[in-house]
């Protein structure tokens, strides 16, 4: 992960500030930086989203392709995740440097989506045991400014919300061979229900308190963090501890409470802005990458 | 209960473009012809190609009598003798430290250019060499002055005065070097209650004003006492104001920072970083600066 080097005095300043609930940029311990979300930025995908959280910039594209269902789940479609850490984000990601981080993020994404209730995979099935929709979710890290996991999960949720899968009909011939017909209308498509898609909240333990949405400087001062994936109803689907330091069980409970609170607020704000963007329709001014 | 703000992106626009410009700047990109008149001397950022003067960096053309140079808008730091810089130690080598100053090459701080405790003058011995890491380690921040520039562009620093040396608690802001205005002094004690060092290399250090001003230890004793909440608020607000000025590409000097700080008073500290609040504060700062000039 990209990191900055700080002097001892700077770390002491950050830690004391957090104890008094005043971080370096004036935020409280439970405040997020300003989040900017834009969907439908990549034209040749089924759905895409771009999220900017301070200096962290994430681009997610979702492509829906036809495939065969997995043997264990013949009546369901599935999701495949891929993360690319671009060398633009930090020189450490040049060549194969970003592979370790990418594998960690992919494994986390598989874990949080492993629960059955997150996304309705049965609706992705076309012909049991023969055809189903496979959603390839590609995440591109454009800039690393701290708090990667949160930004990635917000972008994945927004991209899945934006995904439009074309409607298909299965026709049976007299011989019994099945033919798949795509509808002629390009706007005839099915949307995914993202109400239960969780968002990741990373809580970093700094000193005796924990903060949400840590910047790179704050991550350098924290010894341990807890990664929680929270749904909009406040239920957890996955929990993971990062970092070398240890966490007291009591502080874990406190962090879980904070995560639940913050998670519910985040989901509410995100859904509101996604609905607002949808309602603007064609009148929305696309900002894209040159704004 | 923290409110998490999620918003739709808005295309950026610079505030200063909406105000009347005094004289139109001649902006060039690398490869653009500046002039075909051969009577001019070429300065930084230009080269002679095919009987005409061509720009080698992207920036504004500046002309002083017969000298033409191009001042780049965003560049790495180019050292000049006498500049004050704030740097971070990256390596501890045999008789010197390597300091990162946002330049193309790491700057060098020789052991003989470092001031000793109490300001004593003596030859550096082998014990001093072994004790180098006790004083400056990797990651430490220092303020120093440029002593010389080597032929390859690397900068040699010195901390030969007690006002330079290792920095204690505070906040570092990194901006482009072209936004820091050259002034007589770069160490300011702002009236709002904090002090700031405007490094020519774009590193700006904001720290709480030390109480005893006469006892300048040269940074040998780092004060790790907790800073009061009031000072912290001032420092955080200053940091956000500086980031607002940088986002709108205004020159940074003590007056502009103080005006921006005063303009940000009605807003909460964390709200200063919101795009619309930034534009409002910088517009007000710009108007006050124009009134001051004319």
Q: Report which of A28, A144, A210, A206 is spatially closest to residue B271, judged by C-alpha positions.
A: A28
| Residue carrying structure tokens 């011989």 | A175
State residue B206's pLDDT score: 95
Using the Cβ of A16 and the Cβ atoms of chain B, whether some distance falls under 8 Å is answered with: yes
Question: pLDDT tens-digit profile of B160-183?
Answer: 888 888 999 999 999 999 999 989
Chain B residues within 8 A of A289 when measuring between CB atoms: none
Q: What is the ipTM of this complex?
A: 0.89
pLDDT band at B20 (very low <50, low <70, confident <90, very high): very low
Chain B residues within 8 A of A8 when measuring between CB atoms: 139-140, 222, 224
Using the Cβ of B229 and the Cβ atoms of chain A, whether some distance falls under 8 Å is answered with: yes
Q: How far apart are CA B273 and CA A52, in angstroms?
A: 14
| DSSP reduced 3-state for A169 | strand
Residue B159 near residue B165, CB atoms below 8 Å:
yes
Contacts A–B by Cβ distance under 8 A: 120
State residue B215's pLDDT score: 54
Q: How far is CA A204 from CA A119, A241, A260, in A?
A: 28, 10, 15
Using the Cβ of A178 and the Cβ atoms of chain B, whether some distance falls under 8 Å is answered with: no
State residue A239's pLDDT score: 93
Residue in A closest to B6 by C-alpha: A35
Residue B204 near residue B175, CB atoms below 8 Å:
yes
Using the Cβ of B141 and the Cβ atoms of chain A, whether some distance falls under 8 Å is answered with: yes
Using the Cβ of B13 and the Cβ atoms of chain A, whether some distance falls under 8 Å is answered with: no
Chain B residues within 8 A of A33 when measuring between CB atoms: 273
Better-predicted residue by pLDDT, B128 or A10: A10
**pTM for this one?**
0.90
Mean pLDDT, range B74-101, rounded to an integer: 92
User: What's the mean per-residue pLDDT of chain B?
Assistant: 87
Q: Please indicate whether, in this complex, the C-beta atoms of A34 and B232 are within 8 angstroms of each other.
A: no
Better-predicted residue by pLDDT, B239 or A182: B239
pLDDT band at B42 (very low <50, low <70, confident <90, very high): confident
Q: Looking at the partner chain, which of A24, A262, A284 has a beta carbon nearest the beta carbon of B236? A: A24
**The pairing of beta strand A209-212 with beta strand A199-206:** antiparallel
Burial of A258 (0-12, 13-18, 19+ CB in 10 A): buried
Phi, psi of B199 (to 5 degrees): -70, 140
Task: Compute the C-alpha angle A30/A31/A36, nearest 5°.
Answer: 140
Q: What is the pLDDT along chain A (291 residues), one digit of tens a residue?
A: 667 889 999 999 999 999 999 999 999 999 999 999 999 999 899 999 999 998 899 999 999 999 999 998 888 899 999 999 988 888 888 888 889 999 999 999 999 998 888 888 888 888 888 889 999 999 999 999 889 999 999 999 999 999 999 888 888 777 767 778 888 787 888 899 999 999 999 999 999 999 999 999 999 999 999 999 999 998 998 999 998 999 999 999 999 999 999 999 999 999 999 999 999 888 888 887 776
State residue B211's pLDDT score: 79
State residue A177's pLDDT score: 72
Question: pLDDT tens-digit profile of B201-226?
Answer: 999 999 999 876 655 555 667 788 88
State residue B2's pLDDT score: 64
Q: How far apart are CA A240 and CA A225, in angstroms?
A: 8
Distance of CA A108 to the CA centre of its chain: 10
Question: pLDDT tens-digit profile of A156-213?
Answer: 999 999 999 988 888 877 776 777 888 878 788 889 999 999 999 999 999 999 999 9
Better-predicted residue by pLDDT, B10 or B238: B238
Residue in A closest to B90 by C-alpha: A5
Chain A residues within 8 A of B226 when measuring between CB atoms: 16
Q: Please indicate whether, in this complex, the C-beta atoms of A35 and B171 are within 8 angstroms of each other.
A: no
The helices-and-strands tally (H runs, E runs) of chain B is 5, 18
Using the Cβ of B71 and the Cβ atoms of chain A, whether some distance falls under 8 Å is answered with: no
């Amino acid at each position: 992960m990209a990191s900055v080097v700080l002097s001892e005095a700077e770390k002491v300043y950050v830690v004391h500030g957090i104890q008094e609930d005043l971080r370096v940029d004036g935020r409280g311990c439970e405040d997020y930086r300003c989040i900017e979300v834009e969907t439908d930025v990549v034209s040749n995908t089924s759905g895409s989203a771009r999220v900017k959280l301070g200096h962290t910039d994430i681009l997610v594209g979702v492509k829906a392709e036809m495939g065969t269902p997995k043997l264990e789940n013949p009546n369901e479609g599935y999701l495949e995740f891929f993360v690319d850490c671009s060398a633009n984000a930090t020189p450490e990601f040049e060549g194969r440097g970003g592979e370790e981080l990418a594998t960690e993020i992919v494994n986390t994404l598989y874990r949080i989506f492993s629960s059955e209730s997150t996304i309705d995979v049965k609706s992705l099935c076309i012909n049991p045991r023969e055809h189903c929709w496979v959603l390839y979710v590609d995440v591109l890290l454009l800039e690393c400014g701290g708090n990667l996991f949160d930004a990635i999960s917000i972008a994945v949720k927004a991209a899945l919300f934006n995904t439009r899968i074309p409607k298909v009909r299965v026709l049976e011939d007299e011989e019994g061979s099945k033919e798949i017909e795509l509808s002629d209308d390009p706007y005839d498509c099915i949307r995914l229900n993202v109400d239960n898609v969780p968002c990741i909240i990373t809580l970093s333990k700094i000193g005796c308190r924990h903060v949400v949405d840590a910047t790179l400087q704050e991550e350098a001062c924290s010894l341990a963090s807890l990664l929680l994936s929270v749904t909009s109803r406040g239920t957890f689907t996955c929990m993971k501890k990062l970092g070398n330091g240890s966490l007291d069980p009591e502080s874990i409970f406190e962090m879980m409470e904070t995560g639940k609170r913050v998670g519910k607020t985040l989901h509410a704000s995100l859904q509101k802005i996604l609905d607002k963007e949808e309602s603007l329709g064609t009148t929305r001014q696309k900002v894209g990458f040159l704004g | 209960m923290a409110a998490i703000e999620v918003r739709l992106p808005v295309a950026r626009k610079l505030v200063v473009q909406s105000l009347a410009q005094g004289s139109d700047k001649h902006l060039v990109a690398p490869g653009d012809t500046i002039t075909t008149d051969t009577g001019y001397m070429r300065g930084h950022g230009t080269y002679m190609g095919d009987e005409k003067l061509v720009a080698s960096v992207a920036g504004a053309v500046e002309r002083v009598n017969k000298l033409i140079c191009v001042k780049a808008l965003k560049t790495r730091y180019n050292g000049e003798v006498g500049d004050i810089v704030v740097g971070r130690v990256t390596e501890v080598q045999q008789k010197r430290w390597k300091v990162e100053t946002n330049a193309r090459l790491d700057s060098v701080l020789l052991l003989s250019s470092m001031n000793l405790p109490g300001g004593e003058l003596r030859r550096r011995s082998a014990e001093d060499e072994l004790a180098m890491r006790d004083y400056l380690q990797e990651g430490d921040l220092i303020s120093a002055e440029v002593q010389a520039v080597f032929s390859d562009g690397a900068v040699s620093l010195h901390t030969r005065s007690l006002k330079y040396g290792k920095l204690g608690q505070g906040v570092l802001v990194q901006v482009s070097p072209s936004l820091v205005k050259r002034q007589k002094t770069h160490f300011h004690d702002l009236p709002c209650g904090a002090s700031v060092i405007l490094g020519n290399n774009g590193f700006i250090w904001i720290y709480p004003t030390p109480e005893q001003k006469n006892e300048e230890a040269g940074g040998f004793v780092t004060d790790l006492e907790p800073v009061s909440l009031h000072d912290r608020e001032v420092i955080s607000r200053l940091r956000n104001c500086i980031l607002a000025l940088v986002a709108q590409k205004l020159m940074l000097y003590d007056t502009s920072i103080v005006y921006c700080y005063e303009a940000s008073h009605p807003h909460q500290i964390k709200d200063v970083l919101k795009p619309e609040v930034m534009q409002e504060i910088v517009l007000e700062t710009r108007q006050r600066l124009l009134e001051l000039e004319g």
